[in-house]
Structure 1
Amino acid sequence: MTAFVGVWNAPTFVAGVDEAQLDAIRGLFAVWQAKYPRNLLRSQYRDMRVRIKPSGNIPAEAIARVEAVSEWPDKAVSALAERSVFEGFVSPGGMQDPFELAGILDANRFDLELPQAITSAYTHSCSFITTALGDVASGEPEVLIMARDALWSVARWDTRRRVVRDALTITDTDDHGQPTAMDAWFPDVILSLTRRPSGSWVAVSRPNTLNEVLVEPLMYDPQLGRPFGRSRISRAVMNITDRALLTIIRSELASDFYAAPRMYALGVAEDAFSRGKWQAAIDRWFAISKDEDGDTPTVGQFPQMTMQPLTDMYRTIATQFSGATGVPVSNLGIVTDNPPSAEALYADDRRIVNTARTQNRIMGGSLKRVGQRVVRLRDGRDVSDELSRLDTSWANPSFTSPSTSADALVKLSSVFPWLSESEVALEFAGFSHAEITRLLSDKRRAQGGSVLNQVLARQTPAVQSAVPDDVAG
């Protein structure tokens, strides 16, 4: 879809929509239009497609000619997103995929869609996951799960019920960025709106059998006054990034002066620099004749400038960025002479690891409701006690070495011997769910072979005693 900042034309009349629904659609459209410029700005910062803000002591021409970019805004998002790794749905009893959702999730490429939705949530403060019955005849999954970007979606929150009250998702635009297709989500119906070439809108209605809005938000740091959270690319991040870009430009300009030291010459003739001052600065041999009074000219060099203050400034700005986002300074391209120890690396990651654990718990609640809706749409059932206990499993957001994990597991197993027989121990050791499944399968296969050997060993003497003596020879 085409990005555009301007005035959109909200639908004034939609065929097949009643007055209450039209009011809700126009209200949602107005909220989306108000939020769009700021969401677009955050996307531009993450993609580094922003104009550098001018500085009073740097010529505008220099800012325009020097290309300065920074990946720090992207680091603010990706450093946390890569620690939110969804591994699947589980039951309190430890059963993996208790409601056989793997087939539907695989048909919807959920392993590809969810990481993008999480990244989008950290970029814009939230993203949305919609569920609806799919058109199987046209090749869609039985239940269609779609991740929606907040740049092209909007929802309103029901504070009393703690759910989405209604939502609007824009699915297509024209070449000028004007929406041409939208889906409006209500508790009792889903409306697919299409704009005709004449500019009028028409809606196709689909019943919603669950009687709840089939839109679930994934939020970063939701608060009482901001139920849809806030962006990782905050005002502080954008301001710090602007100052980092200006420091890069200053360093680039200063490097030219550093490469060509400033010289001075006193008492020289007017034609001493007939070839040009730059040529005189780079010549290996340089001769200056005496002046008209016969005095020898004085040639000297101004004290050479140093790049160290700019380097220190850049390091200071990186430290401020790390404080604002929790991203370790070492991930921002700041190299130290002495590599940190494993304990120091763990301490640096502690804040972002804690943030990831909190976020996984928050998003886990949203994904739990998504899983419940998929089961209810597929099976046509209500929320049972077993379905209400559906839970989510996430990979450990803390990056630890295998030797450290193994040592900790040995110490825990000595205190809790039964821990070594649990799947949690394998998760603690760093194995993925796919690897745990294979390991347990191999274990059951080996145990089955061992039991068979024991049975055969017990039966062998009886078989031998049944054999006649004359046959034994």
Structure 2
Amino acid sequence: MTTLNFGAVEGLTETERQQLQDLAGVYNYHQSGNTVKNKYYEGHVTLNDVNLGIALPNGLRGMEIGCNWGQKAVDALADRSMFDGFVGSGAAAETMTQLVAGNRLLAEYAKACREELKYGCVFATLSADPALRCRIRFHSPATSAALWNGEKGRIDCGLAIIDTVPDEKFKGTWRPHIVNLYTDDAVLVLTAQNGVWTAERHAHRMGRPLMEPMIWNATSGKPFGRSRLKKAVRALIDDYIRIIANATIALEFDTTPQKYLLGLTDDQYDAVVSNKFKQYVGAILASTTNPETGENPQFGQLAQGSLQPHVDKMRMTATQFSAATGLTITDVGIINDANPTSSDAILAQSQTLVLMAQQLNTSNGDALRTIAQMAQAIVRNVPLDQLSDEERDVMPHFKNPAMPSVAVTADAAIKIASARKEFASTDTFLEMIGFNQADIRRIKAQEQRVRGQQLLVEVENENNGENLG
């Protein structure tokens, strides 16, 4: 876990020093919680983390039970938030298309969305770049922090660690050396050399920090949102891990059920105890009458335990987890083979997740629109209030989170085209009937080639007609 401690930084004003110290305090305060959330997302939860001290033996405390529920809760929702670029008109649309391609925003958004749901928020930072014109980067709360300004309804200031961990084996000792501080009028690049931090100031005209959060499930008390892996969800994961551990231990005992022999001689007892496994797997178990009592030895076996209580408890916990996260019951591994769920029933179960994805797209869409406006202002080197109406109208586009089949969307596209003839010649029509952007470009190029060939044929026919006349 990384801890930020700047001490005295050369080149900062008194206000900026206070902001930096406040941000470092916020960052350090949240790191322990962020570590826990990442632990549950990656599935690195041991029995020592969940043991109640009743049924699980202490010798198994370091054992890890494979559980991907935390990752599933995050990824299933993130996968339905499919950012598809920006739409607009004129030069503004062309500018954003170039920025999306140069910054690989489609792929970066997918990663950022997972971080947002894992921690509750993610931060986008912007900076001028000679090659890209504007560089856009995303930072999770594991490498960034911000202070909220309730009066302005936006970030007051923020910081982001720019240099990253060189390798996973250095995570325990790694210390950042480049940190950016974002204020209303500047980006300050803080660099550490020999334990001394210095600041390099890059002023801007934006009038607000070049940092914008994408926030999931925010409230008035938590303006930076809440994680999908909140405490109640983590408790259900703990419960599931305990169930699997108990079921595994019970299965070990059921594999070798307890047997007993009564009325043995001392020699017979020593022979059995000296090699219990041999006696267990032996096909024949022989013994003689006990000469001291005159009784024949009696063999017996205790009743086997049942795994059914563990299975029932697992189903109950999975149902609770499904209700808490909006996942379908099949997403958490519960399948009823005796009465399979119909496709309509599965679609109905996924409606909760679709509604969550629509909410996610709405909140992220507002953030992406602000990011697009700041990016265009950086490209033109103007304040936000000097953007044109065309630049302000640029907005993000998301694919349908319900992810309907191609047959459904194609049928809808054909019906729309029958009412609006011009719709059939648009890229949107081709997208709805199942073609991606690469296919659309090939189709348009080939259609243009065919029209060119037809035009040449028509011209040639006209020339031949004139020669004959």
Q: Same fold (TM over 0.5)?
A: yes
Query: Which residue of the partner structure matches residue 16 of structure 1?
Result: 11
Distance in structure 2 (CA, Å) of the matches to 1:443 and 1:150: 48
1:340 corresponds to 2:376: no
Report the equivalent of 2:241: 245
8 A contact 1:107–1:141 mirrored in 2: yes
Match of 1:288?
287
SS of 1:304's equivalent? coil
Q: Is the Cα contact below 8 Å between 2:45 and 2:65 reproduced in 1?
A: no
CA distance in 2, matches of 1:412, 1:268: 88
Cα 1:245–1:23 change in 2 (3 A) is same
Provide the residue aligned with 2:388 in structure 1. 384
1:136-285 pair list within 5 angstroms = 136=130, 141-172=132-163, 176-197=173-194, 199-273=195-269, 274-276=271-273, 277-285=276-284
* Partner of residue 31, structure 2: 36
- Which consecutive residues of structure 2, in runs of 5 or more, have no partner in the other structure? none
| Counterpart residue number, 2:69 | 72
Shift of 1:409: 4.2
State the partner residue of 2:46. Answer: 51
Measured in 2, the distance between the counterparts of 1:375 and 1:71 equals: 40
User: What amino acid sits opposite 1:290 in the alignment?
Assistant: T
Whether the aligned pair in 2 keeps the contact of 1:87 and 1:433 (CA below 8 Å) is no
| 8 Å Cα contact 2:85/2:100 also seen in 1 | no
Q: 1:360-371 residue pairs with structure 2 within 5 A?
A: 360-371=361-372
Partner SS, residue 435 of structure 1: helix
- Cα distance between partner residues in 2 of 1:47 and 1:105: 29
Cα 1:145/1:256, change in 2 over 3 Å: same
Q: Could you tell me whether the CA contact under 8 Å between 1:88 and 1:96 is conserved in 2?
A: no
Contact 2:121 2:226 in 1 (8 A): yes
Secondary structure of 2:350's aligned partner: helix
Q: Distance in 2 between matches of 1:385 and 1:96?
A: 12
Q: Is the contact between residue 148 and residue 169 of structure 1 (CA under 8 Å) also seen in structure 2?
A: yes
Q: Is the Cα–Cα contact under 8 Å of residues 41 and 70 in structure 2 kept in the other structure?
A: yes
Give yes or no for contact 2:10–2:199 (8 Å, CA) kept in 1.
Answer: yes
Structural mapping, 1:389-468, within 5 Å? 389-410=393-414, 420-447=424-451, 449-450=453-454, 459=462, 462-463=465-466, 465-466=468-469
By how many angstroms is 1:90 displaced?
A: 0.4
3-state DSSP of counterpart to 1:121 = helix
Amino acid at match of 1:287: A
Instruction: Quote the offset at 1:28 in angstroms.
Output: 1.1
> Aligned pair in 2 of structure 1 residues 259, 253: CA closer, same or farther (>3 Å)?
same
> C-alpha separation between the residues in 1 aligned to 2:319 and 2:214?
29
Rounded to whole Å, the distance in 2 between the matches of 1:102 and 1:194 is: 33
Q: Gaps (5+ residues) in structure 1?
A: 467-473
Give how far 1:120 is off: 0.8
The 8 Å contact of residues 46 and 62 in structure 2, kept in 1 or not, is answered as no
Q: CA, structure 1 residues 101+416, in 2 after alignment: closer, same or farther (shift >3 Å)? A: closer
Deviation of residue 460 (structure 1)?
A: 6.4
* Corresponding residue of 2:374: 373
In the alignment, the residues of structure 2 paired with residue 225 and residue 428 of structure 1 have an alpha-carbon distance, to the nearest angstrom, of 41
> Structure 1's 357 and 448: CA in aligned 2 closer, same or farther, altered over 3 A?
farther
Counterpart of 1:51, as a letter, is T
Opposite residue 16 of structure 2, the aligned amino acid is: Q
- Structure 1 counterpart of 2:432, which letter? F
Q: TM-score, normalised by structure 1?
A: 0.87
* 1:359 Cα deviation after fit: 0.8
Match of 1:314 in 2: 314
Q: Is the 8 A contact 2:45 2:64 kept in 1?
A: no
Question: 1:51-97 deviations in whole A, cap 9, x for unaligned?
Answer: 33222223443433643121110111111112222111102x6x797
Give me the whole-angstrom Cα distance separating, in 1, the residues matched to 2:322 and 2:443. Answer: 39
Q: Are the equivalent residues in 2 in contact too, given 1:90–1:97 (CA < 8 A)?
A: no
What's the CA shift string for 1:318-345, capped at 9, x where partnerless? 1111111112222223333144332122
Q: Which amino acid aligns with 1:17?
A: L
Quick one: which amino acid aligns to residue 426 of structure 1?
Answer: L
The yes-or-no answer on 1:329 pairing with 2:329 is yes
Query: Is the 1:221–1:230 contact (alpha carbons within 8 Å) kept by the matching residues of 2?
Result: yes
Equivalent residues of 2:46, 2:61 under 8 A apart: no
Distance 2:352 2:375 in 1: 34
Shift of 1:214: 0.5
**CA distance in 1: counterparts of 2:112 and 2:16, whole angstroms:** 28
Assess if the C-alpha contact under 8 Å between 1:247 and 1:310 holds in 2.
Answer: yes
Provide the residue aligned with 1:469 in structure 2: none
Deviations along 1:131-151, one digit per CA (max 9) or x if unpaired, are 1112x3xxx532221111211
Q: Structure 1 464/290 Cα, relative in aligned 2: closer, same or farther at 3 Å?
A: farther
Q: CA offsets per residue over residues 420-456 of structure 1, 9 Å max, x none? A: 4554433333433443444344445445555665666
SS in 1 for 2:223: coil
Q: Please tell me whether the aligned partners of residues 89 and 97 of structure 1 are also in contact (alpha carbons under 8 angstroms).
A: no
